[in-house]
Amino acid sequence: MSFRFLTAFLKSSGDGGVVLFENDGAQRTVMIDRQALLMFASPPRADETRLQDSVPAICEIAAVKLRQRKSGPFERIRISEDDVMAWKLTVPNLH
C-alpha cells in the first residue's frame, strides 16, 4: 500500500480532526476523535499543532485499520482513543 498525505485540519466544532490522504490512488478521509488527539503526547492537547505533529502516527494507525478490513473507497476511517492506545503499545520508544 502506498500512502500520500494531503491535508489535516481541526473540525470547527472542536470535537476532533480530519486527515486526508491518498491510498493506492483513492482519497481516504480519517476522522480523529478529540479524546484520541489528546492521547498522542503530553501534556494532552487537542489543537492544530498537536494534530499536525501527529499526522505520521495518524496515517500509520489508518494504514493498519485499512489492512485489517476491506472498506469501500468512500468509507471514512475513524480513530478513537482505544486505537491510539493500541498503537502506542506497538511503538518501542513510547513505553
How deeply is 60 buried, as exposed, middle or buried, from its count of CB atoms within 10 A (0-12, 13-18, 19+)?
middle
Asked if 71 and 62 touch (Cβ cutoff 8 Å), the reply is no
Higher pLDDT, 91 or 8: 8
- Are the CB atoms for 84 and 40 separated by under 8 Å? yes
Q: Domain 3-94: give its CATH architecture.
A: 2-Layer Sandwich (3.30)
Using 50, 70 and 90 to split pLDDT, how confident is the model at 95? Answer: very low
Sheet with strand 16-23: strands edge to edge: 3-10, 16-23, 26-33, 77-79
Angle separating helix axes 55-68 and 81-90, nearest 10 degrees: 90
Task: Quickly count: other Cβ atoms within 10 Å of residue 64's Cβ.
Answer: 14
Q: What is the pLDDT of residues 11-57, one digit of tens each?
A: 988 889 999 998 878 888 999 999 999 999 889 988 999 999 999 99
The answer to whether 17 and 11 are in contact (CB under 8 A) is: yes
Q: Is pLDDT larger for residue 92 or for residue 33?
A: 33
Which residue ranges make up each domain of the chain? 3-94
Average pLDDT rounded to a whole number, residues 53-63 = 92
Q: Which pTM was predicted? A: 0.86
Mean pLDDT of the chain: 88
